Structures are given as C-alpha cells and as structure tokens.
Structure 1
Amino acid sequence: MSAEHASARIIAGYARGDTDLAADEVWAVEAHLEACRVCRDRLAAAVATGVPAVASLVDSVWSGLAPELAVTAPVPRRRHRPAWLSGWMTPAMVPWLAMVVGVTLLALLLDRAGSGSGFGLGSGSDGVSLVLLFAPVLPVLGVAASWSRGLDPAYELTASAPRAGLPLVLRRTASVLGVVVPALLVGGWATGVMVAQWLLPCLAFTAATLALGGVVGVTRAAVALAAVWAAVIVAPTLAAGGRTAAALRAGGLPVWGLLLALGIGVVIARRGAYAALGAHR
C-alpha cells in the first residue's frame, strides 16, 4: 500500500479473494477501505470487471430486497452516538461502570461510618480501608463487561473487524480506567490512603486480566482473578477484623510494580491473541 491509497495489485487481489495476499496486506487494505472512499470505488469497479459473478449475485440480491425495503416502515431515528465512542466502549459497559463507581462510593461511606469503630485507615488504626481492599478488582469488573460475549451482541463483528485486536482492547480498558481511577482517587483521598497503595494493585490486576485473557478469554480471566482476590485477601482480612493484609501494605508496592511490568510484557508479547474470538469469552 502507498501512503495514500492501496495499490492496484492489492485491490484486484482483494476483489478476487486471492489466497496469495499476505494476512497483513488483507488487514491493511480492510482498515484503509473504512476511511477511503476512492479505494472503495476502485474496489467496486474491480469487483464489477474482475469478478462478474459476485457483481451479478449482489445485483440479484438487491433486486429482491429493494421492493421489500420500499414498503418497510422507516425506523425511528435514534440519538446519534459519536463514532469515536464506539471504539472506546460499548453500551453494555455503562451500567457496569455505574455499578463499579457505586461500589466505590459505598465502600467510602462504610469507611467513613466505621472510622469511629477502628475499621479503616482513616481512623489511624491498623484497620484496612474498604476502598483499598476493593481497588484491585473494581476495574476488572468493567474490563470483563467490555469483553463479555453475553453482554455485547456484536462481539463477533467486533472481533472480526480489521481494527480489532490489542488496540481495541487497550482503548476499552483505558475507558474503564478513566472512570474507575478518578472514583478511587476521591475515595483514597477521603480515607487517607496513599495513591500508589491502591493504584499499583489496580493497574497490576488490570494488566494481569488482559495477560491471562489472551489465553483463556478476558471475561474468564477477570472472573478467576476476582474470585482469587476475594478468597485469598478479602475474606481473610474481613475475618481478621479488618487488619491490613501484607499484600496491601506499603512494603508490597515493589511486588505490585513487578507484577504490573510482567503483565504488560505478556500482553505485548501475545498481542496477536486478542484478534481471535476466544479473547471475548
């Protein structure tokens, strides 16, 4: 492909469905066709001249659909959704993100209400803040919703689109963090928790979800990690009367930083795995 348009060879080969086109050439021309009307017109002309059977099939299908479409009642116009927003989140994410923010606010309220009883860092005791306790798994819930096969009715189209893959995964993950992190920032400030103390576990768990998601699917990875965190950290901490677990103390920050770097490295190394339908399980 040139800097502006696809070459005649690639356009003709794509129109014929040639198998000798490299996978990256197919991906590149499909991504280019989304934004280039000139190349779409060239492709239509190539199909009409080079693959007349396909052009004839399209014409026959359209001739059968045109009379039915003419008598079909028009669909009421829906409020326009910005095109850029579709690349960052799905409608299914909105209630889940609202729930995550609600859980954060509820944890903050419980922290403030329990400050007089010694449960919570804001009281100055050895108790653990609920905001700190739930911070690592809150973004995981939003990431799981953004890639849930059951919640996104267009997941097949999403996974097969030419721009799918790691860039789309990162955009949707960034949209989740863009909502969750400010809420946690407010909660951490109100309870006196150091920013790094909740931010590093939050980012490390998110990176681990994406890294494991390249193997078993993002949704399954999110559910598994959330369950492990609940069983290993949340339940024992609550059972111990709210004493801060070792994993949540400031001394554990280097370990969380190492886990974050490891998760990012795995995601980059396996970036091709996110273009498969399995990443949406």
Structure 2
Amino acid sequence: MTHHPGDSLLRRYSEGAVIPADELWAVESHLETCAACRARLAPDPVAEAVWAGLSPLLDHTPQMPRTKPWRRAYGWVSPAAGPWLAMILLVTAAAVALDRVGFAVGDRVSLVLLIAPVLPVLGVAASWGRALDSAYELTAATPRAGLPLVFRRTAAVLAVVVPGLAAASLLTDVGFARWLLPCLAFTVGTLALGTWVGVTRAAIGLVSVWAVAIVAPTIAYSRTALALGPEAAPVWAALLGAGLVVLGTRRMAFTRLEGNR
C-alpha cells in the first residue's frame, strides 16, 4: 500500500469488520512499517497505558528466536517444490543430451523446444497445491496469502527454470523467443485456470492437452506443429494477456482454501 489507509478503513479494521483479503493484507503490511498509522489505530494515551503495563514484564519474558533466512524465504519457495525443480532441470539436461547426440522428433524438432513450454507448470503446481505442500493450509490462511503469494512462488519457479532453458537453448541452437512466450503463457494460464479448478488440476490438464495436441502429432507425422513456429508468437502473446486479465479479475479466488487444490 503506497498511501496511508483512510479513517474509515482503519476503523473497520480495528472493529474486526469483514474486509476483502487484498485490502486486509495491504493494511496489515502498511501498519508494520508506518508508525503514524499505528498511532492513528491506537491513540497515544491508549498505547502509553498498554506499554506501561507491559514494560516491567519484558525483561522476564522469553524472546522469540530470530527467524532463520531459509524460513523467511518460505513465502517464495515451498519445500515441496525443491524435488520438482530438480526434476525439471534434470529433464532439461536430458533433452539437451539427446539433442546433442543427434536425436530429434519429426523434422528436426528439438526436444528442448517440445518440452520447454510446459516445464514450469510442474514447478508451479508443486509450489501451490494442497496435495504436495504439507503446510498448505497454514500458509494459505495467512493475511499475506492469495495472489501475492502465488506470484512470489511462481516467480521463484521461473527464476530457476527459465535460466536453465536459456542455457539449453544456447547448447541446442533453439531460438530463445520460440519457447519463452509459450512458457509464460502456459504458466499464467495454469494460474488463471486454477482459479476455477485448482492449480494442480489446471497444471495436469494443460500438460495433458499439450501432450495430445502438440507432442503426439509431432511424433506421429514428423512435422513441426504451427504452435512451435515463430508465426504463432502473436497467439501466445494474446493468450498470455488473456491469462493476466483473468488473474486480475479472479484474484480473490486464491484467498479461499477450497479453491486451491
């Protein structure tokens, strides 16, 4: 929140009124760093009275241990995602190795190009899903959960997968632009579809569609699918934009535990 919350919003917050999750998150984040707004929420006389009662007890109260760096990173990376990210990098390395020894699908379609669009989807599903994250309910129920948490964990997945795919592209002479837009479109599409059916189910569904509609025909007919060609870039860009619009309009779906399976 770049501006101070209004008096009405602060009053509703102090009274425990129902506030949309994104506004609640913004208010609490702002209060953590803004002493002026904390003073508005708790006037000086009240704060001084509370402090006078607490101050003598502080020296005798056990202090919470300092948060370890890896725990602070939990909002960015789910522990469940680690093995999946390692598997994704291993799959990428295997595709590069097969390409380097001359193996190809169809009319010289690189395996890297064939698998790159859907690789991040697996990591995203592992980062935000009830079935894979043992602390899912605890994390999803915090005020800072919802779309911001989903975006942070998705960004962490892309920060690992995209450089790996970029390196694979250099080793196999696959154009960077040929897989980047499909990769981003599939990732955002997984999150957008996940607002209805859950991120894990959306990931499984989109990977299955890609395997049936693109991978299987490429292998069966030995020809490059139009979706893998440079002429498909405007379509992928449009799908990426549509996914972002859906995420913006349905962002509140990620604040409901039952909506993220």
TM class, shorter-length: 0.7 to 0.9
Deviation at 1:9, TM superposition (A): 4.2
Equivalent position of 1:64 in the other structure: none
Distance 1:12 1:204 in 2: 41
Instruction: Kindly report which structure 2 residues correspond to 1:258-273, keeping only aligned pairs within 5 A, or say none.
Output: 258-273=238-253
Equivalent position of 2:159 in the other structure: 178
Distance 2:98 2:192 in 1: 33
Choose which of 82, 85, 89 in structure 2 pairs with 1:97: 85
For the 8 Å contact 2:197–2:260, the answer to whether it is kept is no
Bigger Rg, structure 1 or 2: 1
Instruction: Kindly report which structure 2 residues correspond to 1:209-220, keeping only aligned pairs within 5 A, or say none.
Output: 209-220=190-201
Equivalent position of 1:231 in the other structure: 212
Instruction: Kindly report which structure 2 residues correspond to 1:124-203, keeping only aligned pairs within 5 A, or say none.
Output: 126-203=107-184
Query: Is 2:18 the counterpart of 1:13?
Result: no
Q: TM-score scaled to structure 1, two decimals?
A: 0.73
For the 8 Å contact 1:216–1:278, the answer to whether it is kept is no
Distance 1:5 1:83 in 2: 33
Matched to 2:108, the amino acid is G
Distance 1:87 1:93 in 2: 12
Query: Is 2:202 the counterpart of 1:221?
Result: yes
Q: TM-score scaled to structure 2, two decimals?
A: 0.79
| Aligned partner of residue 214 in structure 1, secondary structure | helix
Distance 2:94 2:130 in 1: 28
Higher relative contact order (CA 8 A, sep 6+): 2
Could you tell me the percent identity over the aligned residues? 54
For the 8 Å contact 2:13–2:19, the answer to whether it is kept is no
Deviation at 1:101, TM superposition (A): 0.7
Distance 1:266 1:150 in 2: 24
For the 8 Å contact 2:81–2:126, the answer to whether it is kept is yes
**Deviation readout 1:31-86 (Å, 9 max, x if unpaired):** 456668995xx6xxx8xx9xxxxxxxxxxxxxxxxxxxxxxxxxxx9x93445411
Q: What's the RMSD between the two structures over aligned residues?
A: 3.3
Deviation at 1:267, TM superposition (A): 1.1
Choose which of 226, 230, 237 in structure 2 pairs with 1:250: 230
Q: How many residues align?
A: 239
Q: Which runs of 5+ in 2 are unaligned?
A: 50-64
Deviation at 1:3, TM superposition (A): 4.0
1:216–1:8 CA distance, 2 compared to 1 (3 A): closer
| Aligned partner of residue 15 in structure 2, secondary structure | helix
**Deviation readout 1:245-278 (Å, 9 max, x if unpaired):** 1211112111111111111111112112121113
| Aligned partner of residue 130 in structure 2, secondary structure | coil
